[in-house]
Structure 1
């Protein structure tokens, strides 16, 4: 059985994003290990996991739902990175680099979800 999610560029970038989060958080203070580090890592992994889970669903509507969940996890990760920057755990350059990656993934998730969703008629009905 082929896992089609592995062919999706957005999944590949999300996997790289999660690896980047793991790398960045490895330098956080020990007291954050079970707090911010854990939450950041889970949110970042959730992005790629939701893409994969959605791709494995039978119906497009389900896939779109999981793409929306992936976008939520991506936003959660960026929000926590902002806090990490304010606490001095990451520098501005690291924050900006990761945010650029997140913005690219966000755009790709949006475009993919729109390509899978049924088109909307002029009166807003689907």
Structure 2
């Protein structure tokens, strides 16, 4: 078992959730039940799956949750691209967040590689 609060991948995921909420609060009201809702769910899913997986008794089971977390990270990146294409954020903010999500994706993948599967 892992103490999820001490995992760097979980901490980075929590940081992304904060960034995500700050960003989506600026989106148009008509996106509240579509893109905002979807981005919020994906962002929350990243650290949530890491914490849930950390409770599993084997690394093999933990890895399944890490895969789900990684999938949510890629899904969130796609939604970020959609938001940028709709001009909901500046290019500078887009690049900053794109770099952050890419970093998280790499961290999760590296963490998976270190598990005893």
**TM-score of the two chains, using structure 1 as the length reference:** 0.89
Q: After TM superposition, where is structure 1 displaced by more than 4 Å over at least 4 residues in a row?
A: none
Unpaired segments ≥5 residues, structure 1: 119-126
Counterpart position of 2:42: 43
Asked if 2 retains the 8 angstrom alpha-carbon contact of 1:64 and 1:117, the reply is no
In 2, the alpha carbon distance for the partners of 1:95 and 1:62 equals 34
Counterpart position of 1:33: 32
C-alpha displacement of 1:117: 3.9
Residue correspondence of structure 1 range 1-126 to structure 2 within 5 A: 4-118=3-117
In 1, the alpha carbon distance for the partners of 2:81 and 2:101 equals 13
In 2, the alpha carbon distance for the partners of 1:58 and 1:31 equals 43
In 2, the alpha carbon distance for the partners of 1:102 and 1:60 equals 24
Return the structure number with greater helix share.
Answer: 2
In 1, the alpha carbon distance for the partners of 2:76 and 2:116 equals 25
C-alpha displacement of 1:7: 0.4
C-alpha displacement of 1:86: 0.7
Unpaired segments ≥5 residues, structure 2: none
Show CA shifts across 1:49-88 (max 9, x none): 0100111111110111111111100000000010001111
In 1, the alpha carbon distance for the partners of 2:94 and 2:116 equals 32
Matched residues, number:
116
